[in-house]
Chain A
Amino acid sequence: MSLPDLILLVALPLLSLTMMLAFVRLVRGPSLPDRVIALDLIGTLGMGMIALYAIARNQPALLDVAIVLALLSFLGTIAFARYLERRV
C-alpha cells in the first residue's frame, strides 16, 4: 500500500468519522463551553486532515492553510473564553 493510498483509504476516513463524533458533541452540548471545545477539536482535526491531504496530493503549499486554520481556531477559542467570562 502506497502512502497516498494509506492516507486516502485509512487515515482520512477515520478522521472524518472522528469529526462526526466531535460534531455530535457540538450539537448535544450540553453547555456552551462543551460546544466551544468541540469546535476547537474540529479545527485541530481539520488541520490534521489538510496536512495529510498535502502529502497525498504532493502539494506542500497546502501546509499554509493548516497554519492559518491553527491561528483562527486558537483566536476563536480565546474570543469565546473571554466572552464567557465577561458574561458572568
Chain B
Amino acid sequence: MRELVSAILILIGTVFMSLSGLGILRMPDLYTRMSATTKVATLGVGSVLLAVAVYFGELGVATRALATVAFVLLTAPVAAHMIGRASYFVGVPLWEQTAIDELRGHYDLRTHELESVCFPELELRLPGMQVGRFRIPEQSAVAGKTLAEIELRQRYSVTLLAVCRGSHLLSNPDGDVRLFPGDELILIGPPERLEEVSEAFRRSGDEQTPAG
C-alpha cells in the first residue's frame, strides 16, 4: 500500500518536473518561463519529497522530508520575486504580445521604489491638491499637439509633472514636447480641474475644444 502511494506521488512529481523543463525551454519570455520553474518544479519536487516521507514511513525521515517541502514552498516564491524584480530593472523585455504592463512608469529607476507610494504623501502635504494620471486616448483632440498649444496651466490651472512614454519618463517637460496617443500624463491640481482635463483628453479631435 505504501509502495503504491509513493509510486503514484513519484509519477505525479516526475511528470510535473518534466513539464517545467519544457516550460523553461518553450515559454516566450523570462517572466512566463519563471512561472514554469517556480510553480511547476516546486509542485513536482514537493510531490517527490512527499513520496519519500510515505515510502520510508519513519518519523525522522518524514520530518526531514516535510521540512524540506516547507522550505522549498517558502523560498521558491521569494527567489522568483527577487529575480523578477531585478530583471525588470535590468530591462529584460516582456513578450511582444503582453497585454498590460502595470508597472510601466511606476518605478523610480534611481531609488528602485514604486512611485505610486509617493503620491499620497505629496497630496498630504498639499491640501486641496490631487495627483492624477491620464492616458491620451487614440482619437484624442490633444494627440499630436505640443504642450504649449494645449495650455494646460492657463486653461485648466493644473501643473504637468511628467509624461510617461513607453518605459521613458520625461520629467518637467517643456512646451515643445508633443503628446502622442498612449502617453501617460502625471498632473497635479484641484480635483475638479483634473476632472475637466480628463474630459478634455477624452474628447475626440472632431469636436470643438472650448476656448479658454
Residues of A participating in the B interface, judged by any CB pair closer than 8 Å: 3, 6-7, 10-11, 14-15, 17-22, 24-25, 31-34, 36-38, 40-41, 44-45, 47-48, 51-52, 54-55, 60, 63-64, 66-67, 70-71, 74, 77-78, 80-82, 84-85, 87-88
Do A51 and B45 form a contact, CB below 8 Å, given A11-B10, A14-B18, A18-B20? yes
Do A74 and B14 form a contact, CB below 8 Å, given A33-B87, A47-B45? no
Q: Are A70 and B30 in contact (CB under 8 A)?
A: no
**Within 8 Å CB of A37, what residues of B?**
24, 30, 33-34, 37, 80, 83
Q: Are B33 and A25 in contact (CB under 8 A)?
A: yes
Partner of A85 from the list B18, B60, B71, B112 (CB cut-off 8 Å) is B112
Query: B1-29: which have CB < 8 Å to A?
Result: 3, 6-7, 10-11, 13-14, 17-18, 20-22, 24-25
User: Given known contacts A40-B79, A51-B65, A82-B86, what 4 new A-B pairs fall within 8 Å (CB)?
Assistant: A10-B11, A60-B56, A81-B83, A85-B82
Cβ-based interface call for B136 (8 A)? no
Interface bracket on B: 35 or more
Q: Are B14 and A14 in contact (CB under 8 A)?
A: yes
Q: Which 4 residue pairs of A and B lie closest in terms of their CB atoms, listed nearest first? A: A18-B21, A81-B82, A21-B21, A84-B86
Shortest Cβ distance from A40 into B: residue = B37
Shortest Cβ distance from B81 into A: residue = A81
Interface core residue of B3, B55, B68, B76 (most chain A CB under 10 Å): B68
Do A18 and B92 form a contact, CB below 8 Å, given A67-B71, A74-B75? no
Do A85 and B68 form a contact, CB below 8 Å, given A6-B7, A11-B14? no
CA distance A51 to B10 in the complex (A): 10
Do A31 and B6 form a contact, CB below 8 Å, given A48-B17, A63-B52? no
**Within 8 Å CB of B72, what residues of A?**
44, 47, 70
Chain B at the A interface: mostly helix, strand, loop or mixed?
helix
CA distance A17 to B14 in the complex (A): 11
Chain A at the B interface: mostly helix, strand, loop or mixed?
helix
Shortest Cβ distance from B82 into A: residue = A81
**Within 8 Å CB of B14, what residues of A?**
10-11, 14-15, 48, 52
Shortest Cβ distance from A6 into B: residue = B7
Do A33 and B92 form a contact, CB below 8 Å, given A25-B24, A67-B64, A77-B83? yes
Shortest Cβ gap from A69 to chain B (Å): 10
